[in-house]
Structure 1
Amino acid sequence: MPNAAIALDIARKCSSYSDLMGGTLAEYEFIQWLLNQVDNPMLSYELQPVSVLVWRDRFSRIVHGNNEYRALGMPLTLGGSGRGKLTMDLNDVEGKVLLTDFPEDMDDAKYVYIKAMEKGALAVIFRDKYPGVARRIVVTATPDYSWDRAPPPTMPALVVSREVGDELSKHVGEDVEYISDSETRLGTGYNLIMSLEGNREEVVVLAVHHDHWLTGFADDCLGVGLGAQLLLNALRRRGDLKRGLSFISFTAEEAGNPGFASLYWAYGSTRYVEYLSRRGLLNNVYAVLNLDVIGRQFVIHTSEDLSMQLSQLVSAQWELPKPYFDSLNFEMNGIPSMTVSSLDHYWDVYHTDKDIEEKANAEDIESSLKVSQQLLDYLLVNDLTPSPYISVLNRDVISVGLGIELREDWETYRLVKYLLSKYIVEYRRDGSVKTVYTNSILSYVRRFININDINQVPLKVEEMGTGRVIMDTSTIRNLRQLSEYITQVIESLTEEMSINLVT
């Protein structure tokens, strides 16, 4: 079994920088240190500059009477200070300060924030559900998930620990003072690219990110350490490799879009994929292995066709992709991608100053390194096949009357993946908003044709990233209208797919 000693040393150094954000001096210092640890004449190195938004919490506090309480500012809010009566009623926030719990999905905090802002709240204070921690969760000012420029979130928002929130809840109706002194500026972050056998046409990308909120040991300093160790391991067997390897530590994974876009994460990898696309090099990326939030029980997030081919290789739990990782940008371009992650087992310390080595599990770290090594070795030496995905999609294409037989080659695979495999955003009739991965947008839409309850149909469906509206049923009043509308949507998607496949 591989030993994680090198990975742990790198993770400790990375985690020693609190709030290591893209575009800061700390980022550049850490990158230079990391380069010294992985210096080898067989590797080529590149620093890719990325213009990023830098957000920093200078000072945040809540004051009630003579008591001052520690708080953390929530990125990417612009800060502010003031005084107002405390309320816990979202329907009674005008001119007041809202104290509220995080939603079950902490990333849904932005919807609470937006509602409070629309209703005229002075500020929002989020109470953490876990004791002894306060965390940084990004909020934006628009409810979608798009790369488009958006207005900044101007209302102050802060986070307090469970204990502080419980104490404040005893003083509803009384005045509290809030202070959120934050800084936003433009800076230059860096994607660090270390390549082995860079002259080979096909390349496997081993992806991590070095930027992090607060201590960030698992998210993603440990990923950086494990990735670096895997790169050094690959050096020892470079003569056996069929493909090149690019180890990339991305900047601005947590946030960084200068336009305050609502799809604020994975920004460094967004710029990298665009860079490859402009130069016609994107198809050279054979596959992506991403490591993000590692340290406890982990799963492998990937599409069904890849799990079918690789699940016999390693003993691990396999799940469908999630959009919260740098693999997002590669998946959206049809590149076979997978992410090894413990995210679902890390919520108690996720984005807090308690995300430290002691909260990780040594056996799980060793196990994740072993599994990642097995996956990477396979991708560097063996061949994947597009057949499992294409064979399923052929049936899907025939079912909508598209008379095209899809070829079982990688060019067709990537194009069809790009056209059909989507992350979508569902705006539901109960007011909730959810992101969903679908293997085929045709199958996703088609399942609503014969539905018996219109309340089970999303009010609106958008494509994540572009904000393109795929379905809008806000004017649909009965099941007959719904069936006709869904048929029209399928015809439109089919026509678009036909044009792209033929050309």
Structure 2
Amino acid sequence: MKMRFLNEAFRLVNELRKFGEIVSGSRREEKIVKYILDKLQSYADEVKIHGFNVTMWIDNGSQLYVKNKSKEELIKAAALPYTPRSHVEGNMVYVREFGIRESKVDVEGKIVLTEWAKDPDEAEHQYLEAIEHGALGLILIDNYPSRLRRIVVKGTYGYSYNPSIPPPIPALGIRYEDGLKLRKMIGTDSVSVEIETNVKIDFEAEGKTVEAIFNGSCEKEKILITAHHDHWFSGVSDDLLGVAFLLWEAEKLKRQKLLREVRVISFGAEECGAPYFTEWYWSYGSRWYVKNVALKYGLDTIYAIYNWDVVGKGEIVISASGFEYLKFLSRKVNRVFLELDSPYFDSYSFSSLGLPSATINTIRNVMDIYHTDKDVLESLDSNTVKEAFTLSHKIVHDLISEKHALDTSVNVKVLEKILESEIRKGNVKPHILMKYGNLVEKYGVRALSMAITSELVKPIHEGDYRTSYSPLIQKFLPEYIYLRKCISHVRKILAMISEGFFDNVVTILKNIPSEVIISGEEKVVPLIRVKPLLKHLELGNRDVVHRSLADLLKCLEKRSSTSLERTPEILEERLRKIWRSL
């Protein structure tokens, strides 16, 4: 593959950039979809457009007007989706790191000015804190100069898949240098603010996904190559570069004799669009596709999914659904970090149903440009992009052409090893292996592998939604793993108290999350209630703490063994559904 492909990729990105910010359901989306459609029609055997209902949110030009006794100024700002259409006036108050750490500043009836959290997605938590404290509005100062940013804010805590309520107050993002200017104004005098958010919300808009089909000799095995075309601001890394890869790869597929059928898909409604302010607002287009398109042609015919999202600079990561995909990737790539699939990518819409899915990304290294107007070609590292294209082409080629690319028995063997280890430790009874073996015999390795991925790999939020923000992370056997971690901490603390060493007890207690939540399902796994224990330690009631923790330890050990012993039942329940679909 010649290196001039990079120039072709950047040329495609520049063509796609001309359509501007793309919100699913908008006229601009219609235009970029037509461009993608026209390109794919010249390569593929068949091209389809799938239309689906979305809640469209568009910022048509929001304003921030600031004044004190000596100065009046119009500050350039970007409304944060799903900010409502509104006109708000009030006094502005600066609160350092509002919503990130505790503050005694009264913000009720005021407009809060504060720094954006280090993790830009934490803006949703800052916004909810502003609502809880009775603020009239929220203004977030970017941590990097000369850029505006958009992050979706919500009206409720949580990540359910159900329709929710609209956000009630306006939220704006402003540039770093403008934030310094406003802080200086507040420091010398009282400042009044006028916010006007000129936004449009349409609950009956139609989003679009483009699908191109390349026939292969085996129609019963499909490879899906995916990206998303909707984006905030310029959106080059997130995800116009991914769409460029789809078009570039499609041109190559045209000239190949394919073992497996290939579907090249550009999703809409990845950034937002889930109807009626659904809490899990992202990746809606791919979720809709799975339920309304893939289910009809058969989930069992999907051999693997390869997704491209947020590739820009720094270390390349591939987030993959299960151990069979990770093993395949480990044979194909070097110098690439491999991890379990992330709930923040379109691939998760497939992996959550047990399908082998992966996303190539560099999301941890692009936070400075993530969802900003600085997400442009000039901000990317050409070496990273070149490596991502080269790797992706090789991975896609091998998924299409290798007869036994994925070994689904790997998932089964990994779980067997874990169970054997826990039996040796005495954490679970040996009969669980017999139950597990019966599932293999009854349903087969592939179906069991799908069930393991869909039921035992889950997105986790550490702590409760209201008092602690943490990004969602994928964990294998999450309930069992967190219970065992908590058991380890409690045992350590009990030993320290018994031996009279109290120095690190408080630190260890504070680092244990009170609970974990399996997000999406919204299942709460309680672990420990730390506050009363800390108070007893402060008062010197060490015997009370010791007795409480001893009782807690017994409960945790029982719950952990029960959690693992229920695994065959959970898997069989899922297997019955898979078996019916197969």
TM-score (norm 1): 0.93
Change (3 A) 1:294 1:500: closer
Paired residues in the alignment total 501
| Unaligned ranges ≥5, structure 1 | none
Indicate the SS of the match to 1:206.
strand
Shift of 1:395: 2.9
**2:92 matches 1:86:** yes
Shift of 1:105: 0.8
**2:317 matches 1:299:** yes
Q: Partners in 2 of 1:245 and 1:462 — Cα distance? A: 36
**Contact 1:150 / 1:261 at 8 angstroms: preserved in 2?**
yes
The CA deviation string for residues 162-193 of structure 1, in whole angstroms up to 9 with x for no partner, is 01100001122321222222111120011111
Q: Partners in 1 of 2:268 and 2:335 — Cα distance? A: 28
* Match of residue 481 from structure 2: 443
* Match of residue 58 from structure 1: 60
- Residues 303-322 of structure 1: pairs in structure 2 closer than 5 A: 303-320=322-339, 321-322=341-342
**Contact 2:303 / 2:356 at 8 angstroms: preserved in 1?**
yes
**2:116 matches 1:102:** yes
**Contact 2:43 / 2:250 at 8 angstroms: preserved in 1?**
no
Shift of 1:85: 1.6
**2:77 matches 1:71:** yes
* Match of residue 224 from structure 1: 243
* Match of residue 193 from structure 1: 211
- Residues 56-455 of structure 1: pairs in structure 2 closer than 5 A: 56-65=58-67, 66-89=72-95, 90=98, 91-172=105-186, 173-186=190-203, 187-197=205-215, 200-237=219-256, 239=257, 241-276=258-293, 278-279=295-296, 281-297=298-314, 298-302=316-320, 303-320=322-339, 321-382=341-402, 383-398=405-420, 399=422, 400-401=428-429, 402-403=432-433, 404-405=436-437, 407=440, 409-427=445-463, 431-441=468-478, 442-452=480-490, 453-455=508-510
Shift of 1:322: 2.2
Q: Partners in 2 of 1:464 and 1:242 — Cα distance? A: 38
Indicate the SS of the match to 2:417.
helix
Change (3 A) 1:381 1:332: same
Alignment identity in percent? 28
Shift of 1:73: 0.2
* Match of residue 13 from structure 1: 15
Q: Partners in 1 of 2:197 and 2:44 — Cα distance? A: 48
Match of 2:566 among 492, 495, 501: 495
**Contact 2:448 / 2:571 at 8 angstroms: preserved in 1?**
no
Q: Partners in 2 of 1:96 and 1:365 — Cα distance? A: 45
Indicate the SS of the match to 1:200.
strand
Give the letter aligned to residue 82 of structure 1. V
* Match of residue 33 from structure 1: 35
Change (3 A) 1:494 1:40: farther
Shift of 1:430: 6.7
* Match of residue 460 from structure 1: 515
**Aligned-residue RMSD, C-alpha:** 2.3
The CA deviation string for residues 221-271 of structure 1, in whole angstroms up to 9 with x for no partner, is 11101111112212212x2x3211111100000000112122110000011
Of structures 1 and 2, the larger Rg is shown by 2
**Contact 1:4 / 1:226 at 8 angstroms: preserved in 2?**
no
**Contact 2:19 / 2:31 at 8 angstroms: preserved in 1?**
no
- Choose 154-163 or 469-478, whichever is displaced more: 469-478
Q: Partners in 1 of 2:565 and 2:512 — Cα distance? A: 21
Shift of 1:275: 1.9
TM-score (norm 2): 0.81
Change (3 A) 1:494 1:12: farther
Q: Partners in 2 of 1:235 and 1:473 — Cα distance? A: 57
**Contact 2:409 / 2:446 at 8 angstroms: preserved in 1?**
no
The CA deviation string for residues 440-487 of structure 1, in whole angstroms up to 9 with x for no partner, is 223343332332255443223222222222446459963334334433
Change (3 A) 1:218 1:331: same
**Contact 1:50 / 1:190 at 8 angstroms: preserved in 2?**
yes
**2:509 matches 1:469:** no
> Where is the helix percentage greater, Structure 1 or Structure 2?
2
Change (3 A) 1:80 1:41: closer
* Match of residue 101 from structure 2: none
